[in-house]
Amino acid sequence: MTGSPVDQIGAAAELLLDRGGWTMAALLCLSVAALMAAIVSALRFAALRPFQGMATGRGTAANLAAHLRRRLLRGDDRELVAEEAALLARGYLRQARTGFRLLELIVTTAPLLGLLGTVLGMIDAFQAMQSSGEAVKPADLAGGIWEALITTAAGMVIALLALALHALLDALVDRFRFRLEVAATEALETVPEPPHAVTEPATAEAARQAAAQ
């Protein structure tokens, strides 16, 4: 019997930790951190309801558009409303990008940590061969090298995983950013200027003509 899948995974993890040492343990922690960062980021992003339609009046983009329309209809200054729209959009995008910096850090750190484990493993292998005082066999040398290279391979796999998660989440955030821009633009362009803003130039012109007479 080969055992259950859980037993096989446990045996594989134990083998990797045994061969890779403390650097492999650190890499496994990085892999868990990458998954947790992606999950937290996805949950925070989903809480914004980013892709709910404008027609339903739900979702962050629809709420932003409704808020801007209320301010414009109230007669607030259009430039101030546009500035507020930019500030609100930046806040939403900051929330949507929760965990991105950690993923970026893992993408950079994991390969370097794996390479460090390989270098330390090869140093140990060569020291063991030197202290043995016997002729070095190619099989022994190859065995020490492949064990040392495990951490490099693990670091690259973890970096690729974190990079893929980051790219997927970043693509979703880009779509969300576009929806926010569309919602804000439509709100600013569809709400007409208040009547006083339109009649003020005519009133001023009439006053100048009266003064000239």
DSSP state of 191: S
Q: Give the confidence band of 159 by pLDDT, cuts at 50, 70, 90.
A: very high
Which residues touch 21 (CB under 8 Å, ≥6 apart)? 117, 120, 121, 151
The answer to the question of residue 168 being in a domain is yes
Q: Is 120 exposed, middle or buried (0-12, 13-18, 19+ CB in 10 A)?
A: middle
The answer to the question of residue 80 being in a domain is yes
- For residue 199, what pLDDT is reported? 43
What value does the mean pLDDT of the chain take? 79
- For residue 122, what pLDDT is reported? 81
Range of the domain at 175: 22-192
What Å distances lie between residue 207 and 17, 196, 202, 212, CA to CA? 87, 16, 9, 9
- Above 60 in pLDDT, residue 155? yes
- For residue 1, what pLDDT is reported? 45
- For residue 6, what pLDDT is reported? 56
Helix %, strand %, coil % for the chain, to 5?
Answer: 85, 0, 15
The answer to the question of residue 150 being in a domain is yes
- Above 50 in pLDDT, residue 128? yes
DSSP state of 133: -
Cα distance between the two ends of the chain? 108
142 HSE (CA, 13 A, CB side): 3
Sign of dihedral through CA atoms 162, 168, 169, 174?
positive
The answer to the question of residue 202 being in a domain is no
Helices 138-190 and 5-47 sit at what angle, rounded to 10 degrees? 20
22 contacts 15 by C-beta, under 8 angstroms: no
- For residue 203, what pLDDT is reported? 43
The answer to the question of residue 149 being in a domain is yes
Amino acid at residue number 59:
G
Q: What percent of the chain has pLDDT over 90?
A: 24
Q: What is the pLDDT of residues 3-57, one digit of tens each?
A: 666 555 555 556 666 666 788 888 989 999 999 999 999 998 888 888 776 555 6
The answer to the question of residue 44 being in a domain is yes
The answer to the question of residue 60 being in a domain is yes
- Region 77-85 average pLDDT: 85
Which has more pLDDT, 175 or 126? 175
- For residue 212, what pLDDT is reported? 45
Number of domains making up the chain: 1
- For residue 213, what pLDDT is reported? 44
Q: Give the confidence band of 78 by pLDDT, cuts at 50, 70, 90.
A: confident
The answer to the question of residue 204 being in a domain is no
What Å distances lie between residue 124 and 137, 144, 148, CA to CA? 16, 9, 9
Which residues touch 197 (CB under 8 Å, ≥6 apart)? none
Which has more pLDDT, 91 or 189? 91
- Token representation of residue 121: 């493993």
Which residue do the tokens 């994991």 mark? 110
